[in-house]
Amino acid sequence: MFRHKPMPDSYALSVRLASFDAGVIKAAGATLTVLFSERAAPLLCIGEKVRLRFVDGGSLHGREASARVTSWRDRGIHREVEFRMRPEIVTLAAAGMGLRDDFRVSPNPTDRLVARVRARGQTEWRRTLLKDLSLTGIGVLVDTDTDEALVEASLLEVEIELPGSFVALQFIGRIRSRGMAGCAIRHGIEIVPELTEAHAFLEDSLRSYSRQRQRELLDASRKLNDAMDESETRRSA
């Protein structure tokens, strides 16, 4: 008779495969990465199709989902396995792991949020489209004129307004990445905490918005997932 070895408390979400439990250590895109507590089991082949049962993690508790093994490796006495599965399930798994402060979110497309940017010391502000944000920085889309005006600047002054905020958020940043995004140019701007006044307030505001957007995205994913399950049930009836 097999006995399930309990997973460490550090795992907020765990799954069961046959008689073995695993802690989820990463959930992104269409990939779920888990860590089994015993290296000797289970024995899996690349490409093998399996059924995973979620035994913890909020809305996924007790649910089974199909997955395909894409890779595995031994880590000491543990075995790390990567599965490919439906993105909707992976998103819900990420929710079971808890909302993340390091998660980069995109604004609701209908909001069309704007970031005003200028080289530090200059007077002219440049309007850019806010593409994404996290606690450590933002991504903006700029045209070629703005790109030329900002790319050589060592430091930038940035001002953004988030939905529900009564004041504009301001910070000092520097360009950390730059590349084409369709017909526009994306600048990745890193926040410089030591040069930013009221950095704690800025971070709290960004965290609040990030978690709000994560909840919105997860709610949309759940609705899509429910609709797909309903469709599958109808087809099998």
Segment 142-166, tens digit of pLDDT: 999 999 999 889 999 999 999 988 8
Is residue 16 predicted with pLDDT exceeding 80? yes
Alpha-carbon distances, residue 162 vs 131, 154, 207, 213 (angstroms): 12, 25, 12, 11
Domain 114-215: top CATH class:
mainly beta
Say what the pLDDT of residue 21 is.
85
Residue with tokens 């530090």: 120
Is this structure's pTM higher than 0.75? Answer: no
The model's confidence at residue 221, banded by pLDDT at 50, 70 and 90, is: low
Average predicted confidence (pLDDT) for the chain: 84
Say what the pLDDT of residue 101 is.
63
Segment 159-195, tens digit of pLDDT: 999 998 889 999 999 999 999 888 899 999 999 999 9
- Give the start-to-end residue ranges of the domains of the chain: 14-96, 114-215
Please report, rounded to a whole number, the percentage of residues in the chain having pLDDT higher than 70.
83
Alpha-carbon distances, residue 81 vs 10, 53, 129, 197 (angstroms): 18, 15, 39, 44
Average pLDDT of the segment spanning 50-74: 84
Say what the pLDDT of residue 233 is.
72
3-state secondary structure the chain: CCCCCCCCCCCCCEEEECCEEEEEEEEECCEEEEEECCCCCCCCCCCCEEEEEECCCHHHCCCEEEEEEEEEEEECCEEEEEEECCHHHHHHHHHHCCCCCCCCECCCCCCCCEEEEEECCCCCCEEEEEEEEECCEEEEEECHHHHHHHCCCCCEEEEECCCCCCCCEEEEEEEEEEEEECCEEEEEEEECHHHCCCHHHHHHHHHHHHHHHHHHHHHHHHHHHHHHHHHHHHHHC
Nearest to 15 by CA among 48, 61, 47, 46: 61
Say what the pLDDT of residue 97 is.
67
CATH number of 14-96: 2.40.10.220
Say what the pLDDT of residue 232 is.
67
